[in-house]
Structure 1
Amino acid sequence: MNQVLAAPRARAALRFWGLALLGSALLAASAQVSLPLWPVPATLQSLAVLLLGALGGARLGVAAVALYLAEGAMGLPVFAGGAGGPAVLAGPTAGYLLGFLPAAWIAGQAARGGPWRQAALLLAAHLALFVPGVLWLAGFVGLERAWMAGFVVFLPGTAVKTALAFAVLRAARR
């Protein structure tokens, strides 16, 4: 009896981690689409994080982000500009990278509910990654500069990427 139950569980686990690995690859690819701003580059990563959570669910989105961060910590060139290694997770962008975890979880909550709830949760997810990002960056450049160079400059792109994630989620639900 246990073997009968174990096979579907093993297949489900294999499918889940396979999808999480694909999600981490999507996130790595999105990091390479980058505008080299200083001190934080503008990338498509936040859009990928929103889509991973919204389309895959909170658990899968967080798992994909966690794999991505582990891959980068091990030195794989998955971060913006092909960077990798633990130094990136101690540098100016570390707060944003870690902010992907709660952002993916919040975006995962958008999979359920009507359009207003989905839009609000996607926006909240996008903004949530800025909290640890700006706070961590402030340790490098000061709070005022972190606010301007690490948040305000990204607002137009945040609006566009959030709207894109919403449109993709709505289309996928149809």
Structure 2
Amino acid sequence: MNLSLNNKVLSEVLAPQQGAMLWAKKAALVIAGILFLAIAAKIKVPMWPVPITLGTFAVLTMGAAYGARLGMVTILGYMLVGAMGFDVFAGSSAEKFGLSYMMGGTGGYLVGYVLAVLALGTLARAGWDRSAPKMAGALLIGNALIYVPGLIWLGMLYGWDKPILAWGLTPFLVGDAIKLALAALLLPAAWKMVGRARG
């Protein structure tokens, strides 16, 4: 697949775009992104068969809006905050947090978060975030990059004789479909608003 990586991502069209203020903007975006990821991870919407958490939605949309480079700084900053023991992950609690939580059953999904941010940022740079169908394709790729290491991690941690797919995949598919549909509409809509503001 030949990608032309010449498009701006959403974060780059926000002023300022040069000088010291550009670096201040980037720092503010990283801090805001970490807070966004932390808050979204804690939001649970009642749904069948399991509640929908907004962590993956936040990771994928942030990756597309920030681009690969700024997105990677943000997601790694988020991981660092979590590793330091702050309660920023979906299932972490006062009983289990920090590195002990990250090395548990969720560890592979956290690796997948990093891969997904890189993929979404790259595809957004290629312009896939400008239309709903392409954005949906990018989100499917990002979601797969979260699940593959997540399921491999579960299998290696608990054994392949366990119901790994029933634990780590199938209960979340309905919620993920809803989140992906929402994100596929959100990013192109944001670009349309940017176009109107400039016009």
Mean alpha-carbon deviation: is it higher for 142-151 or for 16-25? 142-151
Aligned residue for 1:66? 76
Contact 1:109/1:121 (<8 A) preserved? no
CA deviation map 1:105-127 (0-9, x unaligned): 21223431444322211111012
CA, structure 1 residues 145+9, in 2 after alignment: closer, same or farther (shift >3 Å)? farther
Please state if 1:89 is matched with 2:137.
no
Question: Which has the larger share of helix?
Answer: 1
**Which secondary structure does the structure 2 equivalent of 1:161 belong to?**
helix
Please state if 1:109 is matched with 2:105.
no
Aligned residue for 2:11? none
Counterpart AA for 2:63: G
Separation in 1, partners of 2:52, 2:153: 17
CA, structure 1 residues 146+10, in 2 after alignment: closer, same or farther (shift >3 Å)? farther
**Which secondary structure does the structure 2 equivalent of 1:78 belong to?**
coil
Please state if 1:29 is matched with 2:39.
yes
The Cα shift of 1:81 comes to: 4.1
Aligned residue for 1:134? 151
Aligned length: 164
Aligned residue for 1:3? none
CA, structure 1 residues 93+41, in 2 after alignment: closer, same or farther (shift >3 Å)? farther
**Which secondary structure does the structure 1 equivalent of 2:88 belong to?**
coil
Please state if 1:14 is matched with 2:31.
no
CA, structure 1 residues 82+152, in 2 after alignment: closer, same or farther (shift >3 Å)? closer
CA, structure 1 residues 163+110, in 2 after alignment: closer, same or farther (shift >3 Å)? farther
CA RMSD of aligned residues (A): 2.3
Percentage of matched positions with identical amino acids = 37
Separation in 2, partners of 1:138, 1:41: 23
Separation in 2, partners of 1:53, 1:171: 16
Counterpart AA for 1:119: A
Separation in 2, partners of 1:42, 1:60: 27
Could you tell me which of 107, 111, 119 is aligned with 1:98?
111
Unaligned runs of 5+ in 1: 1-7
Unaligned runs of 5+ in 2: 1-17, 193-199
Separation in 2, partners of 1:118, 1:12: 27
The Cα shift of 1:78 comes to: 0.8
The Cα shift of 1:168 comes to: 0.5
State the TM-score, normalized to the length of structure 2: 0.74
